[in-house]
Structure 1
Amino acid sequence: MKKKQSKLVTVLIPVKNGERFIGEALSSVLQQTHVNLEILVIDDNSEDETLQIVSSFEDERVTVLLNPGNGLVDALNFGITEAKGDYIARMDADDICKINRIERQVCSLEANPEVGCVTSDAYLIDEAGNKIGSIVNRKATSHSILQYLLFNGPGKPLVHPSAMFRQELLKAIPYREFSYAEDRDLWLRILANSEIRVLNEKLLLYRINSGGVSHQRVDSQLLSSTMTAVNYCLVESEKVDFYEKRCGVFKEISRIVSLELEEVSRGLNVWKKFRSALSKRQLVLAFSIYLKAKVCRIACFTPTSRRLRQKSILDRALLHCRQLEKSKFYFSDHALKKIYRE
């Protein structure tokens, strides 16, 4: 009897000037127990020895692609268009896969057809490869992941380079340029159409380095994280993706949130400062949802001792939400009905 062919998995490894770690990362993928792999290394105009190191691997499963665009999102999307696998796995050029990562994730997707993406827990390692911690998501569900993405700032509810997607899902909703938050934007769009599963196994060694986004672009990442949540709420309530279809309005919302992000997060003087600025129905809707998300974050994620000190802030923020609802502008909080209880 002919043995059934295992699923083909495409592993996407975008890289730019990754000579320090690309060899170790690629070796960890080639040693996987699941051997039916297509490994696409997408080089983003490297100026070091990256290409020479990758070319030294004599394995027909490895293909080098040159990014026709510029930057991580272009590299990833080019790789997605070229991918032939039934599943597409993400991998960073400085991380290390445990030997059974691909096998375990394929088994999970095969057993759970309702799941569109599966990630895993991870060890944290430093630049020398020493374990310095871990990322663990115990009992994570699609619902709890959505709560985190909407109500929390930058963080790692999911380990992006540990993700594996169904090919048809990722080709339908590829990455978008969401400065330093393209992964959160992708998670939210996946959750609108499918489910995400987290394997409580540390299948990746996730490298923390001083040149990473989390160390250098905190303010931009916070703004972008907030705007992914706002756009998700707008899509749910208005049935229009403002990022793509109403880009002018989206940029205006982003500008306002950027200017007042710190003050909004405290819930202070919101209505007074924004009454003149929020003259469009869409802006009122977006800002109301954004403010409710911040209120819910204070209520649900603040430790008890701090929550007591912030009671007046919470009350005031709720009052501002009610003022917006009673204003002449139409307001709908359909997007938060499932996850917010006033």
Structure 2
Amino acid sequence: MTSRHLAITMGDPAGIGPEIIVKACVGLKERIAKGDLRLLIIGSGAALDGAKSALGADVAIPEVTADDREWPDLCYLQADVEGDPIKPGVLSADGGRFAYKAIEQGVRLTQAGRTAAIVTAPLNKEALNKAGYHFPGHTEMLAHLTGVRGSVMLLAHGNMRVSHVSTHVALEDVPKRLTPERLRMVIDLTNDALRRLGIARPKIAIAALNPHAGEGGLFGRQDIDVSAPTIAKAVADGLDVVGPVPGDTIFVKLRAGQFDAAVAMYHDQGHIPVKLLGFQVDPATGRWQELSGVNITLGLPIIRTSVDHGTAFDIAGKGIANEHSLIEAIDYAERLAAGTSAAKS
């Protein structure tokens, strides 16, 4: 529990963001009523009202302003001026504009201490760029808005916690991104995040880049020349780090509880095992039945967690979106905020 609000940014109003936010508010209504949880939704009021109406949701979400001295435990802040109606499932520059403005407001409020963390619903990268905001995604946008040069993506589902040395780069560029400085940064930020989550002495495994960790240099030397010395230095500095562990076994061991987290070398190496366990699809219809997992950005001066899925324009406005990932992201934001407060006290 945190005494301050969590800022919930809507993402693209044309996606499933409004729907999963309303569903999460309904699911968390008892906690909110008790004062155990305080949420400030930032986005399009029209989209929020539309989702409430479509779902028949019996939940009051009054509008507030950023300058109000006190906010109700559940409320919303208009991110920007409404333009033409934003239709569910329809890509538009207005959708991208609202997504950016919501993040901008959330960053400002969290940096000012009004909100404890940002929890983000999904945005659409094409709409974002159509609106004139040229970022590959949330992570890069948040780094820009907070003035941070380097950040780290950590995915979490249950005890599967995986941070990444590189993410949105071509596979051929991955080896160049693996440097001693970058790997040590990822190790340190992962260790810090786990401690804030209540793990006193985290055990972190480093995935190998190459098959069989390079097989003595037969399949590449990055694991031998870069990863192994960096791991040894981290251990000498008092951290509990092991590796390089071959990529075909590290996640089996992580799931079995041998480690508290793993460090993946690139996007798909880390994303596939987490989503394999957290996502489920109906084999008959092809529709998603379960979307579980959280995306956490490490290295920012603020706490940011997110759903681990996209805008799902194909099902937006149909009332069938799954809110579980958002509820998980809210839980992680609470725990990280509480851990940060405890560390400062």
Same fold (TM over 0.5): no
Which protein, 1 or 2, shows the higher relative CO under an 8 Å CA cutoff with sep ≥ 6?
A: 2
Q: Which one has a bigger Cα radius of gyration?
A: 1
Higher helix share: 1
